[in-house]
Amino acid sequence: MSDDVIITITLNAALHVSYAAVGPAEPETETQTAVVVPVGRPRYRAGGRGVTVARVLSAFGHDVLAAGLAGGVAGELIREDLARYGVPAAFTQIRAESRRIFRFEPGAFQFGEPGPYITTEELGRFAGDYRKLLTSAAAVVLCGSLPEGLPPDMYSSLVRYAAEAGVPVILDAGGEELVLAVRNRPALVVAESRDADAAQQLVRMGAGAAAVISGETVQVATPAGGWTAVLPDQQPGYALDRGALVAGLVPGELLAWSWPDRLRHSLALASSPGGDVNPRAYEGLLDNVMVSPA
């Protein structure tokens, strides 16, 4: 592994399983109300926010490694999907099955399983694997929810380990996990909040910079100032893809781009749901992102 690789950590990786209807819904029997919808073969895709970050960064030619926790048949399919798209992976093996998220189309009916339970032994093995990865990392991206069994200060510990190794951290989290971790001074924090002062609060708590998503707007705060960014004229129901947005912020952190350039790149990418980057759409959106001082 090269010494400039971007490590993405997904502790609650998911396997997305999609079914498309191939025929009309019909009653199971003449006397029962349940219906049967014939579907085609399932489509599998590796998911979880950190996995999306890795997928987008890889599509733009960055040296990336997707890591975290994965187990069972779902875990193997997660690894296989990433390999199919040329995204290197180094997930720590766990005994429990990684969660699955099922989607039925048309109608986009979706439901998800709970995450796996992580044992103390598995946590110890992951911590060892993580410390080894840090020796060759240019940056670490920590993303998403924590599965059962992991303590709320998990991200706090991972940020501290990275700081000891001299590796900058981009943290995308929420709740107690975020509050505990931001005190260890990650380089950049990404969060979601309707509070207009949330980005400034995160910087005061210890973040090097903070990007807060509120609907279709991103508010950035740094010790040197702040910015607001929005991509106007989107279709009704449009939502920023958080994983793609985080991926768009990573290169600017490493290469010290100006914040307006970081935000244009990031919001143009955030129109790529699930990390499926459309280069033509991305190029067309770059000049449409509106960035203004906050």
Nearest-CA neighbor of 169 among 204, 129, 209? Answer: 209
Give buried/exposed letters for 86-119 (b at 16+ CB in 10 A, else e): ebebebbebebbbbbbebbeeeeeeeeeebbebe
The count of other CB atoms within 10 Å of the CB of residue 166 is 8
Q: Rounded CA gap, 271 and 276, in Å?
A: 9
- Give the helix ranges, DSSP H, for the chain: 49-59, 72-84, 120-134, 154-164, 175-182, 198-205, 242-255, 259-269, 279-286
Domains of the chain: 1-21+35-172 (3.40.1190.20), 187-294 (3.40.1190.20)
**Each residue's pLDDT expressed in tens, for the chain with a length of 294 residues:** 556 899 999 999 999 999 988 877 676 666 566 777 788 899 999 999 999 999 999 999 999 999 999 999 999 999 999 999 999 999 999 999 999 999 988 766 788 999 999 999 999 999 999 999 999 999 999 999 999 999 999 999 999 999 999 999 999 999 999 999 999 999 999 999 999 999 999 999 999 999 999 988 999 999 999 999 998 876 555 678 899 999 999 999 999 999 999 999 999 998 766 667 888 888 888 989 999 998
In this structure, the chain runs to a length of: 294
- In angstroms, the CA 99 to CA 15 distance is 6
Peptide bond into 24 cis (omega under 30): no
Residues 6+ apart with CB under 8 A from 59: 275, 277
